[in-house]
Amino acid sequence: MNLYNLPIHTLHAKRLRGDICTADIAESILQRIDETENVIHSFISLRNEEILEEARAADRRIQDDASVDELEGMPIAVKDLFSTRGIKTTCGSRFLENYVPPYESTVTQRLLDVRYNLVGKTNMDEFAMGSSTENSAYGVTRNPWNTECVPGGSSGGSATAVAAGQALAAMGSDTGGSIRQPASFNGIVGIKPTYGRISRWGMIAYASSFDQAGPLTRDVEDAALILEKVVGYDDKDATSLRLPTPSFRKSLGQSIKGSKIGLIKEIDLSSCDPEVIRVFEENLEVLKEAGAEIIEVSIPNIRHAVATYYVIAPCEASSNLGRYDGVRYGLRADDPEGLIDMYEKSRDEGFGKEVKMRILIGTFALSAGYYDAYYLKAQKIQSLIRLQYHNAFQKVDAIAMPVAPTPAFRIGEQSDNPLQMYLGDAFTIPANLAGLPGISIPGGFSKEGLPIGFQMLGGSLQEEKLIKLAHCFEQTVNLNSPDLVV
């Protein structure tokens, strides 16, 4: 098997035994990028020249010290909304096309602390607003299982980089499903931790009360490994949780016998693609055979989740994106006729259609006369959803549901129907509204050979339970995987 197809933990064991060196891994990744990047376009920027050099430096250190960190020298990609000192960070927007941060995000700094090898910054929907990576100012990313299909979003570039073997893992962000949905569409693992588990310092904000970083990986063990490196309190982020970092890998290999898995009775799967329903039902059987018990739970207000999210998130976007004014940094329109004209032209030229639409929705919902009717009411429903999930998790260890109602759809298929695109987030949004951890793991394939993910949500701070269940599922399920088309 090509080295780029192997998980980090396997490659690390091989290099400690002397079977391979870190430079071999980097060469495999670079060759794979050369073969595929012009087709799928995972990256906005690449560090081709530095990757091999840093891998060789890791090999020299390994010769001196066999206790080197598992991530040292390992080629990992990062979504282009994490600030990286001295490296362009665009957030998929023309507004930031020349922005080079003078500081490092906490997530990337913690990866630098263990000497990871940054492959490059991955493509994404502009300001993380989208579910298909079609909204980037830097072009569309294509799904490596079918290049006529989207990779999901907004972390589509991160997901395709891992699925296509262009990186061993990648960091993404999840505001309404932007890690889990592209993980599903690309047949890899994606985990969104509890809100506050990972610092948001240095992440370019979309909706601050929902945004959460997380890894996209080839398997569950790698997800647990990377979580251990990036989770933890950060005094630069007021929402960061002051808690010790668990050893997530201790959950691997544990029996799930007696675990209780909840099914939400208010969720109607009849509108899902039949292939999604088939895979979901087969996945539940896998958990049952491993000793889990399936229990019905009630989240009455889940039917309002999409509407609630698409009021609150645009309101926060409207506020967060107010800083892009053509004055302090970022794009500035040429030859404005005055200050107001400069604001208007800069924002008109710098933002894409989807971002403008969400800013307008948020500004309207926050305006006088509409604040109480929309934003305040949405916050009240969000509180009810949080309470109902809390009550449900008194009875179950996890809640299972599909990741998305369909496998990856064709590029352009939903571009003119934003409502259909938004409804595609119905199964991922609730975790963000309630601040809960969620994981997407490969569950199967459609008849057309497209991946379909299986999602589980956990109670607050219950990532270990999710990892235990997901790892058991991963080790038990038997997937007949077709070949990538690239």
Tell me the catalytic residues.
Answer: 79, 154, 178
- Give the residue from 401, 393, 468 showing the smallest Cα distance to 177: 401
Q: How far apart are CA 212 and CA 64, in angstroms?
A: 37
The one-letter code for the residue type at 285 is E
Strand order in the sheet with 293-297: 43-46, 117-122, 75-79, 169-174, 212-217, 189-192, 438-445, 451-458, 398-402, 260-264, 293-297
Half-sphere exposure of 444 (CA within 13 A, CB side): 20
Q: How far apart are CA 453 and CA 373, in angstroms?
A: 36
Cα-Cα end-to-end distance for the chain? 16
Beta strands 43-46; 169-174: pairing state: unpaired
Q: How far apart are CA 213 and CA 196, in angstroms?
A: 9
Q: How far apart are CA 277 and CA 128, in angstroms?
A: 28
Is the distance from CB of 106 to CB of 78 less than 8 angstroms? no
Question: DSSP states of 19-35 as a string?
Answer: SS-HHHHHHHHHHHHHH
Q: How far apart are CA 180 and CA 466, in angstroms?
A: 14
Is the distance from CB of 359 to CB of 321 less than 8 angstroms? yes
